[in-house]
Amino acid sequence: MSEMPPDLQPETENAAGHVPVLRAEVVSLLVLVPGMRVIDGTFGGGGYTRAFLDATEPNGQVLALDADPAAVARGQVIVAEYGARVVVREANFATMATVAASIGWQPGTVDAIALDLGLSSFQLAEAGRGFSFANDGPL
């Protein structure tokens, strides 16, 4: 089997963090420009959050939410890198309006919202989390 050229290979995790498969497409469809406020309602590995921050620099902001405390803990790396431009909170995306208001984002001040409703590879990889199909673990 021949190896795919690098520009055609699916995007995967790298040293900088998780890279979602449809990152470029989502960023393009959201038509992000500098200064926008974006909510990433399903932070996960932070791949979309990082892309949104890059696309809205130098002064765009991202509110990243995830119900999984492990995801929020992983998010601290992005907070350290991007500073006040990103806020990561442990919360379900259903509460995004309340969480946005708690950081001073009033209704009508959010420019884009993204939800990646797929499976979390981080949760599937750890049998002890109870999501694995391949390994024994608690339900």
Contact present, 62 and 40 (Cβ < 8 Å): yes
Cα 18 to Cα 43, 76, 87, distances in angstroms: 10, 14, 18
pLDDT band at 84 (very low <50, low <70, confident <90, very high): very high
Q: How far apart are CA 84 and CA 19, in angstroms?
A: 22
Predicted confidence (pLDDT) at residue 112 exceeds the cutoff of 70: yes
Q: Outline where DSSP puts E strands in the chain.
A: 37-40, 61-66, 86-90, 112-114
How does pLDDT run across 11-30, given as a tens digit for each residue? 333 334 567 888 999 999 99
